[in-house]
Structure 1
Amino acid sequence: MTKSKVQAFLQKYDLDADKVDLSAELEHFLLSMSLGLLPEQEADQKAQERGVMPLAMLPTFIDIENKVPFEKPCIVLDAGGTNFRVAVLTMHSDREPEITNYEVYPMPGSDGELSKLEFYDKIVEFLRPVINLSDNIGFCFSYPAEITANRDGRVLSFTKEVRAPEVVGSLIGVDLKEALKRHNLPFDKNICILNDTVAALLGGRAFLSEEVYDSFIGYILGTGINLAYVETSNDIVKIRKSVSPEVLSGRMIINTESGYYCPLQTSAIEQEMDEGTSDPGHSLFEKRISGRYLGLLSLYIIRRAIEEHLFSTFFVTNFEHISQVTTKDLDDYMRSPFGQGKLSQACANDIDRSILYYLIDNVFERASKYAVVALAAALVKADTGKNPLKPTVVTIDGSTYYKSLLIQSKMAYYIRSFINNELHLYVKLNKTENGNLVGAAIAALTNKKD
């Protein structure tokens, strides 16, 4: 009875995970990807005709074919959703990375709005102790950035509630060099900007052989969500007129910026949540999958369930004092519904606990289905993974995937049932330690500017 009551509520508000049509969503996702590879004017026209929002599909100009350089130190930066990491990394001939001078700082703009000057000055402050240890800097920038042919990056926007609006539009490498110069520090550096999904892909490839695996995908499922895959350069229509025939003859990593994908279904509760974020109307896919938003989405769902009288008076009274729910809070509850977590303590009885369980389980079930759709789209678009003897390597990074109680097992189910059994595609899920740092170093050392 309790489960059917929750099911009726979820169906009423278009939140039932069972209603996510994997095949239809995949087709829609692939169309968004294909449009994103077209020149902007053509993409916009076709998007309007088809009622689809193109994905950014950002070319990286990073060649995956180059050999991994050994015994060369590289300064590596990793601007993530919460932290900003700095280190010096050297890949040894045994393919074991040596990481020194490792430090973790708060991500600039995560604790309050910063000006452009303040943003880059913060990074210089982090760089100061290591700036003389290498002439190469690999900068893993986990936010939307348009990569230029000389491997700089123009910031397109910030996600994950980072606030630095003046930085949008700036060239990261150029402005970082100017900031170094302003602080009388060495600024004549080879700086290579790449996304965290690209770094994950390169980091995974560094330890594996292309002779054994069909291709490589980088997948981030943490504070945010994104994928990178390897595309035939000539199929990236929007760069055909601006690059050399030599570039078009090879392969290039594409940063899909899949967090901006607009799913087929959107519920009234998700719209309400979206309106309360710092970037309403944007990152809609990310807002129903990533660790930054699963707790927030659940908060809105529980509040609406209270309005629909699903919970006891005791729960309603206790939940009035809860203004924030994090993904960790959800995990704490699912691991220990009778424990000391704030969600557990809000429940009066097993009916409250069961309703809360089914609501949270549905949030993760739905998120897992969408996450697998994104992976399937990358496989289909890259035309890889067809041979079970040579699967595509998917290097996954991110706290939501590895720390959540439910995501891994639910994704594994849909990988088997949808990707393997329906699409007949095959993957090897891969985890690397410090993959972002390894990938950033490889990008900087193997893709130097001409």
Structure 2
Amino acid sequence: MAQQAQYPEAVEILQHFSLSEEKMHEIIHRLTKEMNMGLKKETHPRATVKCFVTYVQDLPTGKERGKCLALDLGGTNFRVLLVTLKSETDVDTESKSYVISKALQEGPGKQLFDFIAECLSDFCKEHKIEKDNIPLGFTFSFPCKQNGIDNGTLVAWTKGFQADGVVGKNVVELLREAINRRGDLKVKVVAILNDTTGTLMSCAFRERNCRIGMIVGTGSNACYVENTSNCETFEGYQTSSKPNMIINCEWGAFGDNGVLDFVRTSYDKTIDLESVNPKKQIFEKSISGMYMGEAVRLIVVELMEKGVLFKGRTSQTLQQKWIFNTRYITEIESDSPGHHRNAAMVLDQLGIRTTNERDLACLRFICEAVSVRSAKLAACGLVALINKMNAKDLVVGIDGSVYRYHPHYHALLMENMNLLLKGSVKFQLMLSEDGSGRGAALIAAVSNK
């Protein structure tokens, strides 16, 4: 690329983001080792990749029918959904979103769950189902240790949440208590899951051989179908009549023990220190949408300070941490090659007016390097899971804003997975249709049977 030659300083920085095939295979090897530690009873307590048992052992058959509710809490917006399963191809979904204020995210946990119950009650009254005792699946996309299909203990808040009195508690119980305090609502909370499990379930309803669910959005995580006999932290792992168990990897924490330091950059370390959870979720911080934009911003600011980019221009806005939204990366990379209209518009919003083609091309070059590394790391994760299952033909269900909206992410995943698998596996990447909503309803339907 011409812009690479024109900006040796940028090239030098971005070399640190480049991952060779050799390094990618090493990442797969290390992740597999960490996952095996998570699955084994003896090593589980000290494992960083926890591989939590989800207690979901039945995948959809496609014959599930009837009404189910879903609650989806995974970030600043949460949703209530009513899903009516009419046939395999006819699924009716009605939903409503609610905003969780910063005060609720950081205040007492009781207030947070009272608010959720209030919204659930309003929604059910609107649809005249408040007394119908409909089964509800609760998508709770934060690290949880499950002790049953309807029992999940919050291990740690992520994504900026810090509500008091929730860590270490069974969040299903907190939800049930909040519903009971109201006294105006009859629903049956039958299952708790995270968004990866929901993604796998929603895709498996349409594609029977879906075996992995992955999220690349604000955060990143994956789940997969493991042999029950390998799930040593599951009480009945040796005697269970059911051969499969969905495992929630919680792979965001891969590298928390230093095993990823060989591919981390100084920018990753800065982002980690500036985050609300330093030294935690190291893998996620190199992949997900919450952090990609900040990596771009740090590089751009450094190049400006060196007098390489946007010569003579300064921007107070761009000096603000976390101001460079990952959405900007998607917009900049959506420009057709050689055109930089979106890049100029993004910079304008950040207080820099420029039409300098070389500078705009360099900005895109930086965005691409961050995106490519994210996709390469996600591909390593998926290949580790495929190898772990020894699968030869499977569907991977994927959701999350980065995968959904980034113009090249799907292609980058395909390219890198093909590079690593060398044609040994037939796989399809499938965009989930609302995994955290429809998937939660499907788990409620399957569990309620």
Q: TM-score, normalised by structure 1?
A: 0.87
Task: Find 2:273's aligned residue among 272, 275, 280.
Answer: 275
**Which residue in the other structure is 1:341 paired with?**
345
Distance 1:134 1:187 in 2: 5
Indicate yes or no: 2:13 matched with 1:9.
yes
Q: How does 1:10-29 map to 2 (within 5 A)?
A: 10-11=14-15, 14-18=16-20, 21-29=23-31
Distance 2:22 2:157 in 1: 28
**Which residue in the other structure is 1:395 paired with?**
397
Q: What is the DSSP-based 3-state SS (H/G/I as helix, E as strand, rest coil) of the residue aligned with 2:236?
A: coil
Q: What is the DSSP-based 3-state SS (H/G/I as helix, E as strand, rest coil) of the residue aligned with 1:395?
A: strand
Q: CA RMSD in A?
A: 2.5
Distance 2:37 2:353 in 1: 47
Q: How does 1:318-329 map to 2 (within 5 A)?
A: 320=318, 324-329=323-328
Quickly say closer, same or farther: Cα 1:17–1:191, change in 2 above 3 A: same
Quickly say closer, same or farther: Cα 1:447–1:106, change in 2 above 3 A: same
Task: Find 2:410's aligned residue among 408, 411, 420.
Answer: 408
Distance 2:253 2:23 in 1: 19
Q: What is the deviation of 1:68?
A: 4.7
| 18-27 vs 247-256, which moves further | 18-27
Decide whether the 8 Å contact of 2:229 with 2:237 is kept in 1: no
Gaps of 5+ in 2: 125-129
Q: What is the deviation of 1:298?
A: 1.4
**Which residue in the other structure is 1:86 paired with?**
80
Distance 1:82 1:409 in 2: 29
Letter in 2 for 1:99: T
**Which residue in the other structure is 2:213 paired with?**
218
Q: Cα deviations across residues 3-60 of structure 1 (Å, max 9, x unaligned)? A: 543222234xx33345871111110111111111122x5345xx6xxxxx53010101
Number of residues paired by the alignment? 425
Q: What is the deviation of 1:246?
A: 4.2
Q: What is the deviation of 1:431?
A: 2.4
**Which residue in the other structure is 1:208 paired with?**
207
Q: Cα deviations across residues 118-153 of structure 1 (Å, max 9, x unaligned)? A: 111111011103143443111111111111224321
Q: How does 1:190-205 map to 2 (within 5 A)?
A: 190-205=189-204
Letter in 2 for 1:206: F
Moved over 6 A (4+): none
Letter in 1 for 2:24: L
Decide whether the 8 Å contact of 2:21 with 2:420 is kept in 1: no
**Which residue in the other structure is 2:127 paired with?**
none
**Which residue in the other structure is 1:419 paired with?**
421
Quickly say closer, same or farther: Cα 1:62–1:3, change in 2 above 3 A: same
Percent of aligned pairs with the same residue?
24
Q: What is the DSSP-based 3-state SS (H/G/I as helix, E as strand, rest coil) of the residue aligned with 1:10?
A: helix
Distance 2:224 2:21 in 1: 28
Indicate yes or no: 2:147 matched with 1:168.
no
Q: What is the deviation of 1:62?
A: 0.7
Q: What is the deviation of 1:408?
A: 2.0
**Which residue in the other structure is 1:332 paired with?**
331
| 197-206 vs 430-439, which moves further | 430-439
Quickly say closer, same or farther: Cα 1:249–1:37, change in 2 above 3 A: same
Q: What is the deviation of 1:369?
A: 0.5
Quickly say closer, same or farther: Cα 1:331–1:437, change in 2 above 3 A: closer
Q: How does 1:34-433 map to 2 (within 5 A)?
A: 34-39=36-41, 42-43=43-44, 54-65=48-59, 67-68=61-62, 70-100=64-94, 102-107=95-100, 112-129=105-122, 130=124, 131-186=130-185, 189-209=188-208, 213=209, 215-239=210-234, 242-243=235-236, 245-247=238-240, 250-262=243-255, 263=260, 264-317=262-315, 320=318, 324-336=323-335, 337-339=340-342, 340-343=344-347, 345-347=352-354, 349-384=356-391, 386=392, 391-421=393-423, 424-433=424-433
Q: TM-score, normalised by structure 2?
A: 0.87
**Which residue in the other structure is 1:438 paired with?**
438
Q: What is the DSSP-based 3-state SS (H/G/I as helix, E as strand, rest coil) of the residue aligned with 2:165?
A: helix
**Which residue in the other structure is 1:50 paired with?**
none
Quickly say closer, same or farther: Cα 1:195–1:112, change in 2 above 3 A: closer
Quickly say closer, same or farther: Cα 1:313–1:137, change in 2 above 3 A: same
Q: What is the DSSP-based 3-state SS (H/G/I as helix, E as strand, rest coil) of the residue aligned with 1:282?
A: coil
Letter in 2 for 1:98: D
Quickly say closer, same or farther: Cα 1:311–1:402, change in 2 above 3 A: same
Quickly say closer, same or farther: Cα 1:425–1:4, change in 2 above 3 A: farther
Gaps of 5+ in 1: 48-52
